[in-house]
Structure 1
Amino acid sequence: MSTLSAVYAITLGVGVTAALIAWRERDEPGALPLMGMFIGQCLWVTFALFDLQSGTFEGKLLWSELLWIGVVVIPVCWLLFSLEYTGRDQFVRPRYILVLSVVPAITVVLAVTSRSHDLLYTSSELVMYQGQTFLNRSIGPWIWVIMGYTYLLGVLGSIPLLDFIRCESTMFRGQSGAILLGTLAPWVSNALFLGGVISIPAFDPTPIAFSVSGIAYLGAVTRFQLFSTTPSAGQHARRLFIDQLQEGVVVIDDHGFVVDVNDSAREIFGVGEERILGDQARTLFRRCDTAERDDVHSSGKTIYSPHTETLYDITRTEISDSHDRRVGMIFSFHDVGDHVRNQQRHEVLNRLFRHNIRTETNLILSHAELLESDPDTGDPATIKRGAYRIEDTAEKARTILDVFERGRTRDTAADLSMLLSRCVDLTAARYPTATIESDPVPDGVYVSEVLETVFLNVLDNAVDHNDDSNPHVWVTVETDEETVTVEFADDGPGIDDYERSVIERGTENSLQHSSGLGLWLIKWGTEIADGTVTFRENDPTGTVLTITVPTVDPAAKMGTDLERLLEP
């Protein structure tokens, strides 16, 4: 065996070893494309070795044609490896691989049929150099096509890896450096061959350069733990972090076009799965309305989304390149709906405490002063009723605070049939003259347990504010796969339009406010259960109050947010 054949054999051994290691780590990102690249190198070296050993013109033609199979596999696998290794595997899809393989497939067809055309080679002849026979073939026009394509994929595959050369991690710098070195060696040797720099006629040293590649790749595996630690997780984590942010994120370039958007932003702007990348940001932003908030904590840049029915504060962050040039902006949309609702609730509670308790206190104080000056002019019964009303207001306030506390933690699920039956029984026991009729509730329907407080207050308001000696309340329930609708109809005087408009609007002001806490408790408790409350007039008299809430899974684990982090 000649020295050149021995070098080929050693190169083949290094390539096979590297391919086996890649196969062993085939579940790791980039391992399978890297194995494909090693297989392509091994095929090239194998057929080049057979060409070298062949002593006939026909034999050398055959092996020189077949080695193209290995040649065209390498650049495609190199690009796929780079994409997977760096976490850009969204481009490693069958349709993309098929497109990348078109030029290589044409090249292989042209290679095996090269004797019938001049596209790949224009002529072939045997030449002797130091006792060794080589096949000298003059290249045709397609050679420049496939070589240009090969170097293009090589450059495209190198670009993602160059980012990690400047990485803080020594491990990733070492991996990328070794891989790029291993890829550069055959590139340079092939360029020297095509440029006519090699003094040996008809000899392509690229297969020998693969020994450098194999050693470099093996060094990346053993020294820098190529398949034990890869940067793909970081790339996926950044994408996953953006996608799973509760805040909406829209990225635009410096010309105002949308270049990225996460799922939360899609919900805010109601675009679903529509293709919006590349559209003008103005077109996207017009899908929501601007809004102003009287809030000292607000930046003043707020929008209202009709698609999610909530308010969002907007934060704008400029994106700059390494030369401090602005290249785009990131818009983040923070849900302030809960903050606004809590602010409104506190305003209502403060007003009610200031107004109701102050009124009752003044009433008690004035009658107490009358009793003190003249026992015959004061009214002890009025003082007693005022004290009871203060106690009732305090009790409702404590109940509301309890409801708010449940909203901060994960509430438990309750069987609707048992919950509603318990509320009806408690109300009937408190008001013996009232008649409460309730439809049967289907079994297996579960709702938030906070609704027990809501239903009790609905029934209590319906009976307590009815002047009839025998107040009547009808309760009906409708269910579907995802929601429950509970309707309470009474024959009382009804809720006046003024009071109802304040509750439906969800806030009060100095000119418009409600008279008590009962309806607010119903509204807030239903919202905490992710439901809605509506009112309408009953015929011939009274009110129909409808509560619609989502059903909940009774098997869902309950607990605090911190406890849920410990769940597998």
Structure 2
Amino acid sequence: MLAGIGIGGLVVGSSITAGVGTLALAGYLYRHRGSPGVPWFIAAALAISVWCLAYGTALVVFELPLRAHLTALWLLAAVWSGPLFLLFALAYTGRTAVVRSWQALPLLAVPTVATGLLVTHSWHSLLWTTFRIDPVFDLATASYSLQPLAYLVLVFTLLSAGLSALLLFETVVSYGPLYRGEAVAVGLSVVPPAVGSLPWLFGFGPYPQLNLTPALFLVHVALDSYAFVERNMFETNPTTRRAAERSAVDDIPTPLFALDTEDCVVTVNDAAVETFELDRSAVLGEPFAAVVPASGGTVDGSESITTTTDGRERQFTVVTAPLTDPADTVVGRTVILQEVTKEREREQRLDVLNRVIRHNLRNEMTVILGHADLVADRATDEAVLDSAATITDSGERLLATGTKAREFEQIRGSQTDTRTVDVADLVGEAVADLRAEFPSATVDIDVSPGTDTSLTTQPRVLALVVANLLENALAHNESDEPRAAVTLSESETGLDIGISDNGPGIDPSELAPIRKGTETALEHSTGMGLWVASWGVTMLGGDIDFATTDDGTDVSVHLDYTDG
């Protein structure tokens, strides 16, 4: 008897304590009512509190009518607890759109109908029959036959609670340690009450009339208190991250498609809908090739494709990336399209313009130089001869500028070969070519002891860089004995090429646009040589620096051994 009273008292005490503790937790969380999911959790906590308090009270009430009404009360609270907890889990894990849509209506419809049946339980037998007091451990436990409708409602409540736990565990798997402690605690909190309800619900065990669920809610409130009080579960939650992921996709200003393993569309962002005038729901499940018909490329790599919309061709670069699940299994891929129609059209116009200008410049300057030579041959007036010489000099400089531009354009537009060369030999060849043009100049080559002059690079580009820098050093050198020196030395990361001269130095106005990488109406360079050298070094992945000294100009070029 004492043991029986002790067990009975433990069950009643645990149920009442769980009810009071859950009510206190709901009051504590009221301060977080603006956080995602908190209102639903508070509602679920209130339902659980009523459930525990009503059942704990019912265990000491032996008057049959009141006992039946208390049973109806705790069952009413029980059928609401599962759906409300599921709505909390949906909102907490960032699925607020589901909570606010028609999909949430069934979750609320079932407990609403059950509430009506429980309130009117004394007028019908749709939920149970043969209600009677069946004491165990000196408690006013009751036995009754649950009807199919009652089983349907109660199983729905258990399934709702189970789905809540799965959603929270999914958060653990998806987001790793960020929300792990909180989600595990809340997810596990539904297990003891759910397991405790099974003997009562399905009538097995030595005391099926005793429902241990309210008493086991004491474990539930302890785990929830750990998550909400100790771990500040609502200070940071998965809603923020899920919203960020969704926003990151929708806010991308370029079209994005998510495809499954069969290349069928599973989602698109707003930019894709707007760019291709898509019906978002209609394209889901359709092959990507049918949604975005393309020609001239492929989406199997970083390629470009051409689409036709309203008779107008549009060009896109394509970048794809695999989509993997938490187990690193490839489940699809993303396709991002960046429209480059205007850029390609501008490049085409510039190419045409460059070709026309270079062609006309060469042809017209050939005519001009020919007539200048004719004038010089036939003229006797010194002023006319000087003018003819001036025309010839200017024309030759223009032709040289066009030649430099053409050489660099040819290199830039082609797939230049990358191979290992001896930079010392390459510099020697450039110096030999220039000596014929500048016979009075002295050019020295100095290789620092121990320097590895082998470099994997693009020889044509590097030769063009060296030639233009040396030509600039000699062509503008007005010294009686023009000199230039090329030094090769090894640094920690690569090869340094230094070119110095004893000329007048480069005017700062010439260097300003080179260093900025652009010309303006007020800042522009008068020659192509420095531009070609700067662009070439950039193509090689190196660095170039100009310095004007009292002795002339020092140019430093650094090329990494690992770059090409």
In the superposition, the TM-score normalised over structure 2's length comes to 0.61
1:341 aligns with one of 336, 339, 345 = 345
Q: 1:232 to 1:146 in 2, by over 3 A?
A: same
Aligned pair 1:219/2:226, yes or no? yes
Give how far 1:32 is off.
Answer: 1.2
Share of identical aligned residues, percent? 24
Larger mean CA deviation between 42-51 and 347-356 belongs to: 347-356
Alpha-carbon contact 1:320-1:327 (below 8 Å) kept: yes
Q: Which amino acid aligns with 2:54?
A: F
In 1, Cα distance between the equivalents of 2:188 and 2:16? 22
Partner of residue 373, structure 2: 369
Count of aligned positions: 386
2:335 alignment counterpart: 331
State the SS of the aligned residue for 1:252.
strand
Deviation at 1:57, TM superposition (A): 0.5
Q: Distance in 1 between matches of 2:270 and 2:101?
A: 25
Number of the residue aligned with 2:237: 230
Structure 2 residue runs of 5 or longer lacking an equivalent are: 1-7, 402-564
* Matched position secondary structure for 1:162: helix
Structure 2 equivalent of residue 310 of structure 1: 314
- Provide, for residues 90-136 of structure 1, a one-character-per-residue CA deviation record: whole Å limited to 9, x for no partner: 11115333222111122222222333433311220112223332222
Q: State which drifts further: 218-227 or 368-377.
A: 368-377
Matched, 1:44 2:44: no
Distance 1:133-1:99 versus aligned 2 partners, 3 A rule: closer
Secondary structure at the residue paired with 1:271? coil
Q: Is the 8 A contact 2:268 2:280 kept in 1?
A: no
Counterpart residue number, 1:122: 129
Report the alpha carbon displacement of residue 195 of structure 1 after superposing the two structures with TM: 3.7
Task: Return the letter of the residue paired with 1:134.
Answer: T
Instruction: In structure 1, give the amino acid aligned to 2:183.
Output: S
Distance in 2 (CA, whole Å) between partners of 1:281 and 1:345 is 32
Report if aligned partners of 1:10, 1:211 keep a CA contact under 8 Å in 2: yes
1:406 maps to none
Tell me the distance in 2 between the aligned counterparts of 1:181 and 1:368.
96
Matched residue, 1:358: 362
In structure 2, the CA distance between the partners of 1:299 and 1:275, relative to structure 1 (3 Å rule), is: closer
Query: What letter corresponds to residue 71 of structure 1 in structure 2?
Result: A
The correspondence of residues 304-453 of structure 1 with structure 2, limited to 5 A, is 304-306=308-310, 310-321=314-325, 326-375=330-379
Deviation at 1:204, TM superposition (A): 1.0
Aligned to 1:133, what secondary structure does the other structure show? coil
For the residues of structure 2 that align with 1:268 and 1:49, how far apart are their CA atoms? 63
Contact 1:267-1:307 at 8 Å conserved across structures = no
Amino acid at match of 1:355: H
Of 233, 244, 256, which aligns to 1:249?
256
Give me the whole-angstrom Cα distance separating, in 2, the residues matched to 1:12 and 1:281: 55
Partner of 1:465: none
Q: Distance in 2 between matches of 1:276 and 1:53?
A: 62
Farther off after superposition, 56-65 or 342-351:
342-351
1:158 aligns with 2:158: no
Deviation at 1:201, TM superposition (A): 4.9
Q: Distance in 2 between matches of 1:235 and 1:343?
A: 41
Give unmatched runs, 5+ long, in structure 1.
Answer: 395-568
Larger radius of gyration: 2
Q: 1:270 to 1:112 in 2, by over 3 A?
A: same
1:312 is paired with a residue of what secondary structure?
Answer: strand
Do the aligned residues in 2 keep the contact of 1:251 with 1:260 (CA within 8 Å)? yes
Structure 2 residue 295 is the aligned partner of structure 1 residue 290: yes
SS across alignment from 2:319:
strand
Residues 259, 273 of structure 1: alpha-carbon distance in 2 compared, 3 angstrom cutoff: closer
Residues 1:13 and 2:20 aligned together: yes
Q: What is the 5 A alignment of 1:98-109?
A: 98-109=105-116
**Match for residue 276 of structure 2 among 269, 282, 297:** 269
1:17-166 equivalences under 5 Å are 17-93=24-100, 95-166=102-173
Deviations 1:396-416 (A, max 9, x none): xxxxxxxxxxxxxxxxxxxxx
What is the CA distance between 1:263 and its match in structure 2? 1.0
Greater Cα shift, 360-369 or 16-25: 360-369
Task: Tell me: CA distance 1:245–1:138, structure 2 relative to 1, closer, same or farther (3 Å).
Answer: same
Measured against aligned partners, the alpha-carbon deviations of 1:265-317 in whole angstroms (never above 9, x if no partner) come to 1123211566432344343124xx42469xxx972544355599631123344
Distance 2:244 2:110 in 1: 34
What displacement does 1:152 show? 2.4
**Superposed displacement of residue 177, structure 1:** 0.9
The answer (yes or no) to whether the contact 1:165–1:176 under 8 Å persists in 2 is yes
Secondary structure of 1:123's aligned partner: strand
Q: Indicate if the aligned counterparts of 1:167 and 1:173 stay in contact, CA closer than 8 A.
A: no
Q: How do 1:130-209 residues align onto structure 2 when only pairs under 5 Å count? A: 130-166=137-173, 169-209=176-216
Cα deviation, residue 352, structure 1: 3.9
| Aligned mates of 1:320, 1:213 — CA distance in 2 | 35
- Higher mean alpha-carbon deviation, 265-274 vs 142-151, is at 265-274
Give the 3 Å change call, closer, same or farther, for CA 171–251 of structure 1 in structure 2: closer
| Kept after mapping to 2: 8 A contact 1:310/1:337 | yes
Q: CA deviation at 1:60?
A: 0.9
Cα RMSD (Å): 3.4
